[in-house]
Structure formats: structure tokens, C-alpha cells
Amino acid sequence: MRLHTAVRWRTCPFPLVEAAVPREGRVLEVGCGHGLLSLFLALSGPARQVQGVDVDDAKVDAALEAAGRLGPSDAHVSFVTVAKGWLPEEPADAIVIADVLYLLAPGEQRRLLAACAGCLAPGGVLVIKEVATEPRWKFRWNQVQETLSTRVLGITEGGGGLHFVPPASMVGWLSDEDLDVESRPIDRGYPWPHHLLVARR
Ligand SMILES: C[S@@+](CC[C@H](N)C(=O)[O-])C[C@H]1O[C@@H](n2cnc3c(N)ncnc32)[C@H](O)[C@@H]1O
């Protein structure tokens, strides 16, 4: 309960992302950062086997350190550093990508999503949390924040620029991979245009 309260006030509505992920099976989080979402998924679903991957070594180290503090019954989460351009190959029951795609050029985003779609087990689900480009005032506020984060403070690696693809375009890409897609805003109560895409095999 305390964990839910803590994440409620973080910038991304993690509980809504978590609710779209099956309660058991292999869960891959691409671009896990410091591991907050992967740890949340693991702690809220003891039958999930969660693996977080990220290109940032230092963030993965921090995630590993946090995971090392879990008790044995919660230790069903692991973290791995991957090279830039890495694409998933192992089968997964769920793949989660939260606030990562905008850091990749549109062609790379589409390639990553196609690779994720190809890894989904029958009945598997691809859960994507990004920010939409509407409403405009929320989008502009997000752009200011992300520009600070990537170009001024260097919190997030964003050397390739910021590429916010409208959710409708992503729905098209995912449909081309033969996935059934639900797309909905989850920005109520937040100044960011959070958006959730849930694509099922
Ligand atoms: C804004 S953070 C989001 C972290 C986490 N998903 C969350 O919601 O807390 C974006 C992360 O994506 C990672 N990233 C960027 N490009 C990546 C790629 N091609 N493959 C894996 N991770 C990537 C960055 O290193 C960074 O940790």
C-alpha cells in the first residue's frame, strides 16, 4: 500500500501501467532506467519474472543495488545492461516500454516495436507508456522538462534528440504487426499528456 502511495506522486502513473501487465509470466521492461517500474511490477506481482534492460550502465547498477536489498521471496527481478541498438529476442509474456521511445528516431522506434511484437508469446501483451502530443499545453510543458533533462541536466541520455510520435501513428505500426491495440490517455490529474497503448498478440 505504501508503495502505491509513493508511486502515485511520481511523474508517471505506474499503477495504470501495472494493471495492464499479466499477473504472472516473463515480463521484460525495455529502458528500465533505475529500475523503479520493474521493481514495482515485481513487488506487485509475485508470480512475475521481471527483467529490466537499459543502455545506461550506471542506472542498471543502481537498479541492481536496489534489487539486492529485496528479500528472497521478492527476488524475481533482474537487470541487465544492453548495447545501443539492442533488440529483444527472447519470448516474453509481457514487454513494457515506459517513456523510452521518444528518445529514439521514429525508424528505431518502429524497429524496436516490431522486434518486441515478434517476441510476444501467444496471448502476450506489449504495454507502452509514452506522452502524447495533445493537449498542446501539456505537450509543451513536457517538452520543456525533457529538454532540461536531456540537454541541460543530462539525467537522461538524449543525444539523438526528442521524437514524440503521436499515439495514432504507433497504433498503425502495431496493427501492421498483427497486434490488437487499445490506446487511451491516462493524463487525468497530471500536467503531462501520459498515454497508454496496450497491444495484444
Ligand atoms: C526517461 S527514462 C525512463 C525509465 C523507466 N522506464 C521509468 O519509467 O522510470 C528512459 C530510459 O530509456 C533508456 N534508453 C534509451 N534508449 C534505449 C534503448 N535503445 N534501449 C534500452 N534503453 C534505452 C535510457 O537510458 C533511460 O534510462
Residue 200 domain flag: no
Residue 82 domain flag: yes
Residue 71 domain flag: yes
pLDDT digits (tens, 9 = 90+) for 23-38: 999 999 999 999 999 9
155-162 long-range contacts, CB within 8 A, separation 24+: 156/103, 157/55, 157/56, 157/103, 158/103, 160/103, 160/104, 160/105, 161/105, 162/102, 162/103
Which residues fall within 8 angstroms of residue 86, CB to CB, at 6 or more apart? 53, 55
Residue 186 domain flag: yes
Residue nearest to atom 26 of ligand 1 (CA): 33
Residue 45 domain flag: yes
Q: What total number of domains does the chain contain?
A: 1
Residue 201 domain flag: no
pLDDT digits (tens, 9 = 90+) for 92-129: 999 999 999 999 999 999 999 999 999 999 999 999 99
Residue 11 domain flag: yes
CATH of the domain at 178: 3.40.50.150
What is the percent of the chain with per-residue pLDDT over 90, rounded to a whole number?
74
For residue 31, how far is its CA from the centre of ligand 1 (angstroms)?
3
Residue 199 domain flag: no
What's the pLDDT at 173?
A: 98
pLDDT digits (tens, 9 = 90+) for 146-187: 888 777 777 776 667 889 999 999 999 999 999 999 999 999
C-beta 103 within 6 A of ligand 1: yes
C-beta 101 within 6 A of ligand 1: no
Residues of the domain holding 78: 2-194
Least confident of 75-79, 85-89, 165-169: 75-79
